[in-house]
């Protein structure tokens, strides 16, 4: 930030830098919590499916098919999270930049009594930002709803098919099947979708941080002026100077 060129300073703001540090960097902490479920989840589903087939036969495949359908739905949600995260970050940058400009020019705003105009502007920016956050919260709520309902749906369908296929249902068999479905439910419908969500958001954050870090910098050079003849410090002829490229 201290080495950005004059041209680069126009492409970023203090608000954007603050947002990168407070929101985007935090995504790295969050993604590491769930990242390994991207490969643990499928392995666990395969293992549980094998155990269920040994216990109640092919009727378990119907229940696992329900789980896979729910996983596909939640994967689509993950892509939406990425899109919403990108839009939310841009709106947050815009709001923080506007707030910084308002605080810097508060004397002028007070002098001309522009308070209500700027209140309306900031309120509009904040409302647009909250609308994107709200959509993300709706998706997160749907993920949780699927998590709580998934095992009940899978167990119900599995035992219905088992009865239709004339499989003998016992208490011990029911208990084992329920426990196996509950085990795969946590990974399949909670941690795996969370991993997709956090990875999608982190990819957006990495792009934003990368764009900032690749902004043009002032090249380091020696500013010390050494006189060549003992008297002349600066001798300029036909000088052309400019700020930007």
Instruction: Look at residue 237 and tell me if it is in a domain.
Output: no
Q: pLDDT tens digits for the chain (245 residues)?
A: 888 888 888 888 777 888 888 888 998 998 998 899 889 888 988 898 888 888 888 888 888 888 888 888 877 887 788 788 888 888 888 888 888 888 888 999 888 888 888 999 999 999 999 999 999 899 888 888 888 888 888 888 888 888 888 878 888 888 888 888 888 888 877 888 888 888 888 998 999 999 999 998 888 776 666 666 666 677 788 988 887 76
Q: Which two tokens stand for residue 95?
A: 């709001």
Cα angle value 131/135/138 (rounded, 5°): 135
Instruction: Look at residue 73 and tell me if it is in a domain.
Output: no
Cα 29 to Cα 163: distance, rounded to the nearest angstrom = 47
Instruction: Look at residue 41 and tell me if it is in a domain.
Output: yes
Query: How many residues belong to the chain?
Result: 245
DSSP type of residue 169: P
Residue ranges making up the domain that contains 37: 14-57+167-217
pTM: 0.64
- CA neighbor of 191 nearest in space, from 144, 224, 152: 144
Instruction: Look at residue 116 and tell me if it is in a domain.
Output: no
Instruction: Look at residue 182 and tell me if it is in a domain.
Output: yes
Q: How many domains does the chain have?
A: 1
Instruction: Look at residue 32 and tell me if it is in a domain.
Output: yes
Instruction: Look at residue 187 and tell me if it is in a domain.
Output: yes
- CA neighbor of 144 nearest in space, from 77, 214, 231: 77
Instruction: Look at residue 29 and tell me if it is in a domain.
Output: yes
């Amino acid at each position: 930030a201290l080495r950005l060129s004059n041209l680069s300073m126009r492409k970023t703001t203090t608000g954007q830098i603050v947002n990168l540090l407070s929101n985007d960097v935090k995504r790295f902490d969050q993604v590491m919590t769930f990242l390994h479920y991207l490969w643990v989840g499928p392995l666990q589903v395969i293992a549980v499916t094998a155990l269920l087939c040994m216990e109640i036969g092919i009727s378990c495949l119907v229940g696992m098919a329900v789980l896979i359908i729910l996983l596909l739905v939640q994967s689509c949600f993950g892509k939406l999270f990425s899109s919403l995260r990108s839009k939310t970050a841009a709106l947050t940058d815009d709001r923080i930049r506007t707030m910084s400009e308002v605080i810097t020019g508060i004397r002028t705003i007070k002098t001309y009594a522009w308070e209500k105009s700027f209140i309306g502007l900031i309120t509009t920016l904040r409302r647009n930002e909250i609308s994107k956050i709200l959509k993300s919260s709706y998706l997160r709520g749907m993920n949780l709803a699927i998590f709580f309902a998934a095992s009940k749906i899978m167990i119900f369908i599995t035992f219905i098919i088992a009865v239709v296929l004339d499989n003998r249902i016992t208490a011990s068999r029911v208990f084992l099947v329920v426990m196996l479905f509950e085990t795969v439910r946590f990974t399949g419908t909670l941690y795996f979708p969370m991993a997709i969500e956090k990875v999608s958001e982190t990819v957006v954050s990495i792009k934003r941080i990368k764009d900032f870090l690749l902004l043009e910098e002032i090249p380091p050079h020696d500013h010390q002026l050494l006189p060549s003849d003992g008297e002349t410090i600066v001798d300029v002829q036909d000088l052309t100077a400019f700020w930007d490229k």
